[in-house]
């Protein structure tokens, strides 16, 4: 192995970014283009994060409604977003944007706003830089100085001076020839990325906001009412401050997740940092150096964001929160049932609820007609073109590719049996009537049967991982990663609780580094670093490399969940066990870990759902999973117009796999509460 060489950063790049906030030309160096890609990455996060926060807050407050129909409808809209991979959602939004009319027939919802298959054109405000700097300086001075009148006066003077130095100009996009001229045009790639990340994280932020409001102590609300506060004052002075303190830690996690998910821009062609790194690696051959730079960038940004949000959380919780035993607002309100669905206080309330029910029924009927009654289930693309509904023939005619990849027909029954056993292993733990020991035994038996089937026991030739594809890769990768992550999580969680720095510091560094770096970057790091360090030909071991990265990522996530559960156990439990003469190993195995398992189970199931969805990211290193198979189907020019049906079938597959885990986690949380 030779040393790292970053001398290529000063060389001429020779390629240009199609869309960048910085002026980047082919004559610029690789270092400058990498900086431009990093700025584009931060621009995506800077635009998507406030949009997701605003939309998520509004959706979370709307989900607090006690009207059963609205409550169920909003939950139905959120569930598919939460339980399908974000990469799949980006593909769907990108396909929808490309299916829009041509730019000459662009839809104009507002004056100066054009939406077409070339993207979204918006009015551009020129000369706002000095004004934004003046406003930022005024906001900073407002936080630091106590003389607020002086700050306001100086801020107004600075803003007026900024506008005088560089007047503001509003430029509207206008149709010109075969395109648009002027304004600010967002490419379909950028628009799909921002829209997909916004809606995906909006669903999670909505649950955070809703949970934080329901976790406010009911006594705080009673005290506010006793003081004579109006409903608006009660919400502004009591509910909002307390809910904000509760929501800040999980909101910080969503901020970091959105930043890391911006790396998925490489999958839809937007030239962010990872796309520039990919082009740089292709031209220079410096794969290790390029991927390492990307990992260091995301690590630094994630640690900076985490440090900033941790300080904000420390200030917000300086006075502390109420301990256990306090009745929460959600406990007092209880679940939303259907018993009051037909109780209307006013005729206006009855009218809008009946109108909403009618709209839902009409939308459901239209969806049923398109998806079932008028759908084309078999045939060729020409048959679908003549149909008035969905083209499920695009899924049925390519079912073998989606399920098994490019396996020969003689080996597909063997792969189908392995898939069935893997599905059984995933579903058996959710069967509540069975005792835990029988569920574990049945799960292990199904996994052993799947391994034996793939190994070729019974007279059939073995199926090597390099030949796997489609659903088989997704199931095997998800279950194997979860199985490997469990013992790794226990070891890391225990190591982080040790007094010896030789154990605690390496475990802490590993967990925090893995959690800070995006999984896409980790997959590329493993794909390039392992062959370089160990040598040999690893082209046929992509499954093993992806499994190592996914297991490490899932294990570090689980380690934090388990560490939090261990910290939640009262110290008196361990002291009492030691007083009874139990050895440290017995205390850990018989007292601490069983309680931690029960406390961590709901959050651990959430991590497993994330691991299942994360398997869709392995296509970035060339692994042919079910989403990669869907991309191969869509690449066929005949089936390309029906990409929504193909992606919809894959989304339904993930939804059916993730929803049971999510419901089980919700039931565990309710029992714990």
Residue 554: per-residue pLDDT: 93
- The dihedrals phi and psi of 625, each to the nearest 5 degrees, come to -90, -170
Mean pLDDT to the nearest integer, 393-408: 90
Please state, in angstroms and rounded to a whole number, the distance separating the CA atoms of residues 325 and 483. 36
Segments in 334-435 forming alpha helices (H): 347-368, 381-386, 393-396, 399-404, 412-427
Mean pLDDT of 401-418: 88
199 vs 150, more confident = 199
> Given pLDDT bands bounded at 50, 70 and 90, which one contains residue 2?
low
pLDDT at 202: 93
What number is the average pLDDT over the span 152-167?
A: 75
The residues spanned by each domain of the chain are: 30-103+186-319, 351-386, 393-407+463-672
Lowest-confidence segment of 320-334, 454-468, 610-624, 632-646 by average pLDDT: 320-334
More confident residue, 549 or 334: 549
Residue 199 has pLDDT above 90, yes or no: yes
Given a cut of 80, whether residue 381 has pLDDT beyond it is: yes
Predicted pLDDT of residue 323: 47
Comparing 303 with 328, which gets the higher pLDDT? 303
Q: What is the mean pLDDT of residues 599-621?
A: 85
Question: What confidence tier does 430 reach under pLDDT thresholds 50, 70, 90?
Answer: confident
Does 595 or 495 have the greater pLDDT score?
495
Strands 184-186 and 124-126: unpaired
Digit-coded pLDDT (tens) for 135-144 = 777 777 776 6
Q: How far apart are CA 373 and CA 393, in angstroms?
A: 14
**Alpha-carbon torsion, ordered 359, 365, 370, 374, to 10 deg:** -150
Which of the four CATH numbers 1.20.1200.10, 1.10.3720.10, 3.40.50.2300, 3.30.499.10 does domain 30-103+186-319 have?
Answer: 1.10.3720.10
Mean pLDDT to the nearest integer, 522-539: 81
Mean pLDDT of 606-629: 88
Could you tell me the strand order of the sheet in which 184-186 lies?
Answer: 114-116, 119-122, 184-186
pLDDT at 324 over 60: no
Q: What is the pLDDT of residue 233?
A: 83
pLDDT surpasses 90 at 409: no
Nearest to 269 by CA among 18, 32, 459, 38: 18
The answer to whether 467 and 456 are in contact (CB under 8 A) is no
Confidence of residue 405 (pLDDT cuts 50, 70, 90): confident
pLDDT score at 672: 56
Neighbours of 574 (CB within 10 A): 17
Predicted confidence band at 201 (pLDDT cuts at 50, 70, 90)?
A: very high
Would you say 258 and 43 are in contact if contact means Cβ atoms under 8 Å apart?
Answer: no
Residue 175, pLDDT > 80, answer no
Mean pLDDT value of segment 378-394:
87
Q: Which CATH superfamily is domain 393-407+463-672 in?
A: MetI-like (1.10.3720.10)
Which is higher by pLDDT, 367 or 439? 367
**Average pLDDT of span 163-192:** 78
How far is Cα 260 from Cα 299, in angstroms, rounded to an integer?
10
Q: Are 395 and 647 in contact (CB under 8 A)?
A: no
Take residue 494 and report the two structure tokens written for it.
């225990």
What is the average pLDDT value for the chain, to the nearest integer? 83
Q: What is the predicted pLDDT for the residue at 647? A: 92
Q: Give pairs for 545-548: CB < 8 Å, separation 24+.
A: 545/621, 546/477, 546/618, 546/621, 546/623, 547/477, 547/480, 547/481, 547/484
Of 285-289, 323-327, 473-477, the range with the lowest mean pLDDT is 323-327
Per residue in 229-282, pLDDT (tens digit) is: 888 888 888 888 888 887 887 888 888 889 888 888 888 888 888 888 888 888
Q: Quick one: pLDDT at residue 539?
A: 76
Contact between 512 and 539 (Cβ < 8 Å):
no
Task: Say whether pLDDT at 180 is over 90.
Answer: no
Q: Does residue 14 surpass a pLDDT of 90?
A: no
């Amino acid at each position: 192995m030779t040393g790292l060489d970053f001398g290529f950063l000063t060389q001429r790049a020779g390629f240009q970014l199609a869309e960048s906030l910085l002026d980047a030309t082919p004559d610029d160096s690789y270092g400058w283009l990498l900086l431009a890609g990093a700025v584009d990455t931060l621009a995506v996060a800077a635009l998507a994060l406030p949009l997701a926060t605003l939309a998520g807050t509004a959706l979370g407050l709307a989900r607090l409604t006690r009207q059963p129909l609205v409550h169920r409808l909003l939950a139905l809209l959120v569930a598919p977003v939460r339980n399908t991979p974000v990469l799949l959602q980006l593909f769907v939004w990108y396909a929808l944007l490309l299916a829009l009319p041509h730019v000459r027939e662009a839809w104009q919802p507002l004056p100066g706003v054009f939406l077409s298959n070339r993207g979204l054109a918006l009015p551009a405000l020129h000369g706002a830089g000095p004004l934004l700097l003046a406003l930022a300086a005024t906001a900073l001075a407002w936080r630091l100085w106590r003389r607020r009148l002086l700050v306001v006066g100086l801020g107004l003077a600075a803003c007026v001076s900024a506008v005088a130095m560089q007047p503001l100009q509003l430029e509207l996009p206008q149709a010109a020839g075969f395109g648009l001229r002027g304004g600010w045009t967002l490419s379909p790639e950028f628009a799909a990325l921002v829209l997909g990340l916004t809606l995906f994280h909006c669903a999670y932020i909505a649950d955070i906001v809703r949970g934080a409001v329901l976790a406010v102590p009911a006594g705080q609300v009673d005290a506010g009412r006793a003081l004579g506060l109006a409903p608006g004052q009660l919400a502004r002075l009591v509910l909002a401050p307390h809910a904000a303190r509760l929501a800040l830690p999980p909101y910080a996690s969503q901020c970091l997740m959105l930043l890391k998910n911006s790396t998925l821009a490489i999958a839809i062609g937007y030239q962010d940092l990872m796309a520039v790194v990919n082009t740089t690696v292709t031209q220079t051959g410096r794969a290790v150096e390029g991927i390492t730079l990307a990992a260091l960038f995301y690590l630094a940004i994630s640690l900076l964001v985490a440090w900033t949000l941790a300080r904000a959380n420390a200030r917000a919780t300086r006075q502390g929160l109420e301990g256990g035993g306090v009745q929460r607002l959600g406990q007092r309100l209880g679940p939303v049932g259907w018993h009051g669905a037909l109780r209307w206080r006013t005729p206006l309330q009855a009218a809008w609820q009946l109108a909403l029910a009618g709209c839902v029924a009409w939308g459901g009927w239209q969806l049923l007609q398109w998806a079932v009654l008028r759908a084309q289930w078999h045939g060729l693309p020409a048959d679908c073109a003549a149909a008035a509904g969905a083209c499920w023939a695009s899924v049925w005619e390519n079912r073998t590719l989606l399920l098994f990849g490019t396996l020969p027909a003689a080996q597909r029954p063997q792969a189908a049996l392995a898939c069935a056993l893997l599905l059984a292993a995933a579903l058996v733990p959710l069967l509540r009537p069975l005792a835990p020991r029988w569920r574990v035994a049945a799960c292990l038996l199904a996994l052993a049967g799947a391994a034996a089937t793939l190994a070729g026991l019974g007279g059939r030739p073995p199926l090597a991982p390099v030949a796997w594809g489609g659903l088989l890769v997704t199931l095997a990768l998800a279950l194997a990663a979860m199985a490997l992550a469990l013992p790794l999580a226990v070891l890391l969680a225990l190591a982080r609780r040790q007094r010896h720095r030789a154990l605690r510091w390496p475990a802490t560094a590993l967990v925090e580094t893995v959690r800070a770096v995006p999984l896409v970057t980790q997959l590329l790091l493993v794909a390039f670093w392992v062959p370089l360090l160990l040598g040999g030909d690893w082209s046929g071991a992509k499954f093993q490399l992806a499994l190592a990265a996914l297991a490490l990522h899932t294990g570090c996530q689980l380690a934090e969940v388990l560490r939090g559960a261990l910290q939640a156990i009262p110290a008196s439990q361990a002291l009492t066990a030691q007083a009874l003469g139990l050895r440290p190993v017995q205390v850990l195995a018989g007292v601490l870990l069983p309680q931690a398992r029960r406390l961590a189970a709901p959050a651990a199931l959430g991590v497993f759902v994330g691991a299942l969805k994360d398997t869709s990211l392995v296509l970035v290193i060339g692994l042919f999973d079910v989403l990669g198979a869907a991309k191969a189907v869509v690449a066929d020019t005949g089936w390309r117009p029906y990409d929504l049906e193909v992606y919809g079938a894959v989304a339904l597959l993930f939804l059916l796999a993730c929803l049971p885990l999510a419901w089980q986690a919700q039931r565990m949380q309710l029992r714990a509460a």
